[in-house]
Amino acid sequence: MKINVHISTQVQSIGDSLLLGTCIWKSNISRTNRPIEAVDNANKPEEIVSILNNVTGFFTIITETIDGIAIATDVVSSIPLFYTVVDGVCHISDSHPPLINQLDTATLDSV
């Protein structure tokens, strides 16, 4: 599936991975790379989960894996994301207006 990312905040990009916010290792013992670099080098969702268990911060990460797309947030989801799929394209954004512009008809589910 093709991905179209609409992010209005500052983003760090490493390879196929995007980091919104700040993400640091809980412990920097024997760590030579940044968490986003480790996530970008991971190929499977299980590897990403293992990395995320060792980080802290206020962040959202979007990355590609061999199985598709992985999106992860910190424990309180401090940087929310919105998404929609239109004509086989997944649109992801940190704000809903760019996504509404992709739709012919927009409906919102009440929460």
**pLDDT for position 76:** 92
* pLDDT digits (tens), the chain, 111 positions: 788 888 888 899 999 999 999 999 998 776 778 999 999 999 888 999 999 999 999 999 999 888 888 999 999 999 988 888 888 888 899 888 888 887 777 676 776
Q: Would you say the pTM of this structure is higher than 0.75?
A: yes
β-pair type (89-93, 2-6): parallel
**pLDDT for position 49:** 93
**pLDDT for position 102:** 77
- Reference 36, options 67, 52, 91, 75; nearest CA is 52
What ranges do the domains of the chain cover?
Answer: 2-100
